[in-house]
Structure 1
Amino acid sequence: MTRAIIRAAEWTLTEETGEGAPRAVFRVACVDCGAASEAVDNQPEPVEMWALRHTGLNTTHRRFRLATEWFWRVVPAPGNPYFDLEGTAGR
């Protein structure tokens, strides 16, 4: 087994597109009372509707905090010794 220390290598930060990985997860919380929507994959519309309904039921609750999770992956860039080892050419 050969062991090597790579002191400098280029890497690329990219969006995670693997099977089952959502593009994004959205959730909104009312700043006034702390009530929060469910987390929803890929579509912001359900949390937008939640905020509008929440304000409709609580007319003084008009401020919301949106939390969005976006998934990334780091892959070896061309010239990185792992690039050919991991078969990342062509990604």
Structure 2
Amino acid sequence: MIRTVIRSVAWTVRTDTTPDAPAQPLYEAECTTCGEMSGAEEGSRVGPEMWALIHTGKNPSHRSYKGAETTFWRVFPSDGSAVGDSSAEAAGGQ
């Protein structure tokens, strides 16, 4: 099969608001001493922070952590046109 590009499309990156995307950022902590991880929590840092405190309580020499916040993006045609997606996605998932 041969595919031909008939026009170019400008793209933009926005927060992913499609139904399958998490509504809030995911937060997670990793102990930099042993590599153990807290597990991800949606929308709040409290769980990973509490995990880090408890982990240090059980392992007093483990005091350094890497915190991660993950957000989800999606790429859309800037002009709102449908390019290989459903019309809802082409409109920005709004």
TM-score over 0.5 (shorter chain)? yes
**Residues 1:31 and 1:75: Cα distance change in structure 2 (over 3 Å):** same
Task: Give the corresponding residue for 1:63.
Answer: 64
Aligned counterparts of 1:53 and 1:73: Cα–Cα separation in 2: 36
Task: Give the corresponding residue for 1:28.
Answer: 29
**One-letter identity of the residue aligned with 1:11:** W
Aligned counterparts of 1:24 and 1:40: Cα–Cα separation in 2: 8
Aligned counterparts of 2:27 and 2:54: Cα–Cα separation in 1: 17
Instruction: Number of aligned residue pairs: give it.
Output: 86
Task: Give the corresponding residue for 1:37.
Answer: 38
Aligned counterparts of 1:53 and 1:6: Cα–Cα separation in 2: 58
User: Normalising to structure 2: TM-score of the pair?
Assistant: 0.71
* Unaligned stretches of 5+ residues in structure 2: none
Aligned counterpart for 2:91 among listed residues 63, 84, 88: 88
What secondary structure, in the 3-state scheme, does the structure 2 residue paired with 1:46 have?
helix
Aligned counterparts of 1:18 and 1:38: Cα–Cα separation in 2: 23
What secondary structure, in the 3-state scheme, does the structure 2 residue paired with 1:82 have?
coil
Q: CA shift at 1:21, angstroms?
A: 2.1
Q: CA shift at 1:81, angstroms?
A: 4.7
Aligned counterparts of 2:54 and 2:75: Cα–Cα separation in 1: 39
What secondary structure, in the 3-state scheme, does the structure 1 residue paired with 2:82 have?
helix
**One-letter identity of the residue aligned with 2:73:** W
* Unaligned stretches of 5+ residues in structure 1: none
